[in-house]
Structure 1
Amino acid sequence: MNSRGKDVLNLHKDNILKELEVIVPKDIIKIDEPLKRYTYTETGGKADYYLSPTTNEQVQAIVHFAYSNDIPVTYLGNGSNIIIREGGIRGIVLSLLSLNYIEISDDAIISGSGAAIIDVSRAARDHSLTGLEFACGIPGSIGGAVFMNAGAYGGEVKDCIDYALCVNNKGELQTFTNKDLELDYRNSIVQKEHLVVLEAAFTLEPGDKQDIQEKMDDLTERRTSKQPLEYPSCGSVFQRPPGHFAGKLIQDSDLQGHRIGGVEVSLKHAGFMVNVDKGTATDYENLIHYVQKVVKEKFDVELHPEVRIIGEYPQD
């Protein structure tokens, strides 16, 4: 955001709060809220306004108000694949975690965007539905999973999603079918058009509960044995470069254990960066750039972040 945009926000801060208190309950509004409370990296500056709506109608009203008044709005799930800079986020940060319902009917699951995809995969198992086992270890929300077409161990959201109910920048509801969502490798129309996901529906297949559990147990064991879950992290940092694996390139560049500030390339899995000693978002960002530079020089391969990096740089 440019300096003029910041000045406008500061000038009208009291008025913005008054308007928000008219359209949504006061108890869902927090001012200057530290975002490190909501990210897996345990980093991040403050949000001017942090709102946690509990209904679709509240989300629509907030989005309509924000865009009608040129107020930046950022959508946040459970913060598992994101780095928020120390300067924080201007405008409104809209948390969707309160939209966390899970409903099951026959072979379909309908979930609010704030529900953890792990919980949705477990609900599918409990009702002997197969197709979401791949998600049993993905630490993200349903909204985030649709946003980036999350996947693991050969499965992805694209394989089983039926539709997503979204809000556009006018505050209008839109339903997108699987095809409409334009789901691709870590991408979707939700990203391209800055939509906010309210709920998603998944069509699954009947299966044997014990077989489903055994598959989930296997995937969980593979994940816990290979990934550095004992430290705060942002998950897999880089996208898979064509013809390569990011972790292998980083490992072969002798970068495991390389540390900048309090963040280092994991010794357990080179595709992860872990917060080992009160690291900052700046440490993460600097380490990402350094790894990109070394891998490019050594293998002539460009690594592109899978993790989202957002927010303002800290002021000197």
Structure 2
Amino acid sequence: MIDLKKKLQDLNVGRITENEPLKNHTTWKIGGPAQIFFEPDSIEGLKKGMSAIADADVPWFVLGKGSNLLISDKGLEGVVIKMGDNLTHLEEDGETITVGAGYSLIKLATIMSKKGLSGLEFAGGIPGSVGGAVFMNAGAHGSDISNILVKAHVLMPDGTLKWLSKDDMDFSYRTSRLQNDGGVCVEAIFKLTTGDKDTIKQELQANKEYRRNTQPWNYPCCGSVFRNPLPQHAGKLIEESGLKGFSIGDAQISEMHANFIVNKGEATAQNVIDLIQHIQQTIYEKYQVTLETEVERIGN
């Protein structure tokens, strides 16, 4: 790994560090160190860096804003690639926009609303990056990323880059092909619709305020922990089971919204895992409903 670190540094493709605490890069503020942490300076830098990583035959993982993610307390071996501020380009061509994976989804929705472009109102208040949103098919308020995506520029597991169309992505509820194939979105092309600027801004603001008033952003959290077992809702089942406020260590089921687990201070990944399993067992025993996690677990 020392040789790989030196090769990446010699390529001059971005910031390279060792033993970077990943809790500093997740919204849960949980996660051990990355053996090598690579923040590429551009898509071209990413391509060059991935070639070196592929040659070294070491595991790698891509990180965006760090929401919807639970990283092991032991950290991650190999290379963690951060889609950071250097991958936040935004190009506009009428109603079509091309945007880097590191771009904040909330910021993008806000900017587009001010331009009178509709399609991202659902994203008001959704934490995370464009790349992560494509990966998870993020959505809310009756819409999701699949409704606006034209195509995604994807880093494939073999280190190559490939454009995938919306149909190629196999989108479904909070799911995309990338979760199964291991690919990672590095930029996306969205098709929006021209609309009334005031109406778009009002809808976006209403969605932001709804999240602010109903979800616990006063403590570190990852977003919704469980997928809704439609037509039922995970938060309602957890609340009705009497688990609101239940804690293991510093990991607590939010007293504001039961489908959120918050970090009250020094919660560990193991605290969260134990709490998730307790919730799943309780809900199954009470309602014979199996709750599946929406959050992605990474590492041992």
Fold equivalence (TM over 0.5): yes
Deviations 1:167-219 (CA, angstroms, capped at 9, x unpaired): 22333221111111111111112222211211101111111111111111211
Q: Are residues 1:248 and 2:236 paired? A: yes
Equivalent residue runs for 1:66-145 within 5 Å: 66-97=53-84, 98-145=86-133
Partner residue, 1:57: 44
Partner residue, 2:3: 15
d(CA) in 2 for partners of 1:290, 1:281: 14
Among 262, 279, 282, the residue aligned to 1:294: 282
Letter in 1 for 2:148: C
Q: Are residues 1:174 and 2:162 paired? A: yes
Give unmatched runs, 5+ long, in structure 2. none
Secondary structure, aligned partner of 2:17: strand
d(CA) in 2 for partners of 1:24, 1:194: 26
d(CA) in 2 for partners of 1:62, 1:168: 14
Among 183, 204, 215, the residue aligned to 1:195: 183
Partner residue, 1:161: 149
d(CA) in 2 for partners of 1:239, 1:52: 30
Secondary structure, aligned partner of 1:236: coil
Q: Are residues 1:307 and 2:295 paired? A: yes
Secondary structure, aligned partner of 1:47: strand
Give unmatched runs, 5+ long, in structure 1. 1-12
Q: Give the length in aligned residue pairs.
A: 299
Q: Are residues 1:147 and 2:135 paired? A: yes
Letter in 1 for 2:134: V
d(CA) in 2 for partners of 1:63, 1:244: 42
Q: Check the 8 A contact 2:114/2:201 in 1, yes or no.
A: no
Q: Are residues 1:46 and 2:33 paired? A: yes
Letter in 1 for 2:51: H
d(CA) in 2 for partners of 1:23, 1:197: 23
Q: Check the 8 A contact 2:169/2:177 in 1, yes or no.
A: yes
Partner residue, 1:284: 272
Q: Check the 8 A contact 2:110/2:204 in 1, yes or no.
A: no
Partner residue, 1:218: 206
Letter in 2 for 1:170: D
Identity %: 37
Q: CA RMSD in A?
A: 1.2
